[in-house]
Amino acid sequence: MLITICCPPCRSPEIDIERCVHESIKLFSWTPKSTTYRQHAQPPKTAAADTNGFGRPVTYYFSDYQDMPRTDLSREPLALSDLKAELSPRVSAEDLIDLCELSLGGVGKRTRAGKPKIVAVDIRSAEDFSRGHLSGSVNLPYSSAFGPDGELVQCPGTGVLHSFRGRVIVVISHAMKSGATFASHLVKVNFPRVCMLDGGIGKMRSTGLLTVPSPQI
């Protein structure tokens, strides 16, 4: 006797492929290219010149960072021991300027309203911060940012940090060691996409982009 078993049609969840592709491209375009720097990488394949909706030529995404023209704001090679010791990648000063939509001429390039792509967290003391900082950066001194159990202390700076959760966070410090430690603490308290400014605040001094607070009258 032949028994026929009728199975209900398989219902797979609907996936918006176009949206997935767009979100993937957006995520990729927001990732600082200098974080992928590899000193001994193979030369990239030649890609056709084209542009996309994010204002950069397609060749930008197909070329490796180390094959681009180098400037004083580019990333520097690191020893393997340093790479292994740092949990978060480094970002170049030129990438930070680009993602903050700033201009070396001192005029902002932002043309769209809304929340910026990244937040720059300056972990120097309030005194050092007041002497010169990147416009739009948040001062969160390393010495007072974390409690005894490693949790973030509640303050205006950490409130801004929480509002940017999920976006790129760039840690700016005097010394790379303190910046690396601070970035590691952020990752441990579940902040993704944390990186550090290569060379620290010293890399920004020659750009003319550091500002000081307006005097209180």
pLDDT of residue 130 exceeding 60: yes
Can you tell me the distance from the alpha carbon of 206 to that of 97, in angstroms, rounded to the nearest whole number?
13
Q: Tell me if 38 is assigned to some domain.
A: no
Q: Tell me if 173 is assigned to some domain.
A: yes
Can you tell me the distance from the alpha carbon of 76 to that of 202, in angstroms, rounded to the nearest whole number?
13
Q: Which residues contact 94 (CB under 8 A, 6 or more apart)?
A: 34, 71, 73, 74
Can you tell me the distance from the alpha carbon of 141 to that of 164, in angstroms, rounded to the nearest whole number?
18
Full domain range(s) for residue 159: 72-211
Confidence (pLDDT) at 49: 46
Can you tell me the distance from the alpha carbon of 175 to that of 150, in angstroms, rounded to the nearest whole number?
21
Q: Tell me if 55 is assigned to some domain.
A: no
Can you tell me the distance from the alpha carbon of 39 to that of 74, in angstroms, rounded to the nearest whole number?
12
Each residue's pLDDT tens digit, 160-214:
889 988 889 999 999 999 999 999 999 999 999 999 999 999 999 888 899 887 6
Q: Tell me if 32 is assigned to some domain.
A: no
Q: Which value, in Å, is the radius of gyration of the alpha carbons in the chain?
A: 21
Confidence (pLDDT) at 26: 76
Q: Tell me if 5 is assigned to some domain.
A: no
Q: Tell me if 12 is assigned to some domain.
A: no
Structure tokens at 16: 């918006």
Query: Any idea what the CATH number is for the domain that residue 111 is in?
Result: 3.40.250.10
Domains identified in the chain, total number: 1
pLDDT of residue 98 exceeding 60: yes
Each residue's pLDDT tens digit, 60-72:
544 555 556 677 8
pLDDT of residue 133 exceeding 90: yes
For residue 206, what are the CA distances in angstroms to 120, 128, 146? 18, 17, 31
Single-letter residue type at 119: V
For the chain, report the end-to-end CA distance as a whole number of angstroms: 96
Q: Tell me if 16 is assigned to some domain.
A: no
Q: Where do we find the tokens 């290219």?
A: 33
Can you tell me the distance from the alpha carbon of 217 to that of 13, in angstroms, rounded to the nearest whole number?
60
pLDDT of residue 141 exceeding 90: yes
Q: Tell me if 96 is assigned to some domain.
A: yes
